[in-house]
Structure formats: C-alpha cells, structure tokens
Amino acid sequence: MKKTLSFIIVIIALFLLVASYYLSIEILTPEKPSLVDEVDTKNQISFANFGLPEPETIRFQNGTLRLRGWYFKHSKKQNCGMILLHEFSDSKTQMLPYASSFWKRGCSLFVFDARAHGESDGNYSTYGYHEKMDLERAVEYFSEIDNIPEDRIGIFGVGLGGATALQFADGQFEYGFVIADTPFRDMRSYVERTFSSLYSPAILLVTPLSLSMAELRGDLLVNDVSPQNTAKLIEKPVLILVPNISEGQIKYDDAYMIFGNLKTKSKQLVQYTNSIGKLSSDQNSNSEYDTVIQDFLKEIQFGK
C-alpha cells in the first residue's frame, strides 16, 4: 500500500513538474502569425489609409538584440515625437489605427516590434522587464534620427505596451509623458488570470512553479514586473485609458489600482465605450477615443 501511494505521489509530482515546465514556456512565448499570414498583412497595408506617408524602415539594438520598426518623419513637425508600443502577441502593424491622433498634431512617429514579436529578435517576452530597456534605446535612437529632445517624446502603449511604458517611466530616463491603454497591474496576477481563463482554475496549482521557471528561462524577476508599484515613482503626465467597465471589471480594476498609485499630479483615468480593436485597412481611432487623447495633449501642451 505504501509503495502504491509513493508511486502515485511520484507520478503526480512528475506531472506537475512537466506541466510547470511547458507552462513556463507558454508564459514567455507570444503567439506569432504564420509566415503566410504575416506576408498577407503586409501586402494589405496601405499607410495612406491611416493618413501616413511611407515610413523609413529602421533597426536599432539593445546589446546583441536587434529590434525592427518604422519611422514616420513629419514634414511639419511641431517639436514632438511619439513612440507606439503594441500588445502581447501583436506587432507594429496593429498600432497604425492609433497613429493619426498624434500625426495630425505634427508629431513624428516611431513604431517597432517588441522583442520576440514580429520582425524583431528574441525568443521570450518578459512583460516589460527587459522591454523597458529596449524602450530606453528606442527613445535615444528616435531622438537622434529626428533631432528631437527626449523630453519631447511621448509614449503610447496598449496592454503589454502600456505596461512597458509605465515600467519605463520610473524616473530613470527622459521622456515626455505616458498614455497607457488597458495596462495590467503586475505580471503575476496577469499570468494567473490569463491562463486560468484559457485552461482551468486548476492551472493555479502549477503557476507558482511555472513562474519560477520562467524567471530562470527569461532572466527576469516576476515580482519586479509591476506597473502598479512603478506608478509610485512616476512624476510626468499620465493618461490611463480603459474600456467601459461592462467590457471587463478586471481591466478596470487593474487600471484603477495603477492610477491610484501614480505619484504625478498630472494624471487622468478615462473609460471609453468603443475600442479600436484589431487592425483594419480603413480604420482610424474613433472620435470618442481621439477626443480623449486630444484633450489630454492640449492640457499638457504637447504638439500644436
């Protein structure tokens, strides 16, 4: 009987270990579109539909990691620039619908694929832990090629991009402001919610071990990935956007907790009814969404 019980315990332990191992890979590995889908998307893009000229293809590095993106130089620039950061498992193309809100204010634009996404190098996404240093290099490179001061560069991000922007904005680097749409409050709670919803609440049995393995695999510290904590250090203007509460209580709660921790006095939390959604060839930001952004930019006197 004891041998049988011991055998069962060993089998369960091995199962949990294997499950944790594979979950740790899934946690760090964004889904990438197939090569065929990616080519089709590129062929369907018309920058003119978004009121943009053809961009300059850019490449820059953070250490040995090469990141790729687009640079839109404004011919009538107003001494302002915007970096646009995409969501987890998306790419730079998904940020085009947001671009017009900043382009029409005379701002040059810098859009790039996050590490392990799109055309950029890297195997793992670290939820902002390493991405914030990639963003530092992006700000420096954008400032160089556009001849614009770093404190005149705003950062706009969605989901992972918004969380990365908030983690970057902890006072160590120069930038103008942050607009974060639907940022998560920390990596641990985001992973637990995402995968328990994707599979089953039972996944929480292996999540702690999976996150520990992810730390080793991705060279990160999970507890340090926390926009909610970083918010306490942010002194520049911040606008947090979140879908109407009817579209997700958790998204609102995360945004509200981050907002409540913000040190800056120049801050706004705004709910919107209509989200932009996935890329569409004839889609720009809707009037409600755009109005919120324009009002914020006017208040902080950014762009024309």
Distances (CA, A) of 108 to 77, 153, 193, 194, 288: 6, 9, 37, 35, 23
265: three-class secondary structure by DSSP: coil
At 279 the pLDDT is: 46
Q: What is residue 115's predicted lDDT score, i.e. its pLDDT?
A: 97
Low-confidence ranges of the chain (pLDDT < 70): 1-3, 5, 7, 10, 13, 32-43, 245-248, 274-285, 303-304
**Residue 216: what pLDDT?**
96
Residue 120 has a pLDDT of: 96
Report pTM: 0.91
**Rounded-to-integer distance, Cα 163 and Cα 166, Å:** 5
pLDDT of the residue at 4: 75
Domain boundaries along the sequence of the chain: 1-29+187-221, 45-185+225-299
At residue 271, the pLDDT reads 92
* CATH number attached to the domain at 45-185+225-299: 3.40.50.1820
Cα atoms in the 13 Å half-sphere on the side-chain side of 14: 6
Q: In the prediction, which pLDDT does 46 show?
A: 87
* Confidence (pLDDT) at 191: 96
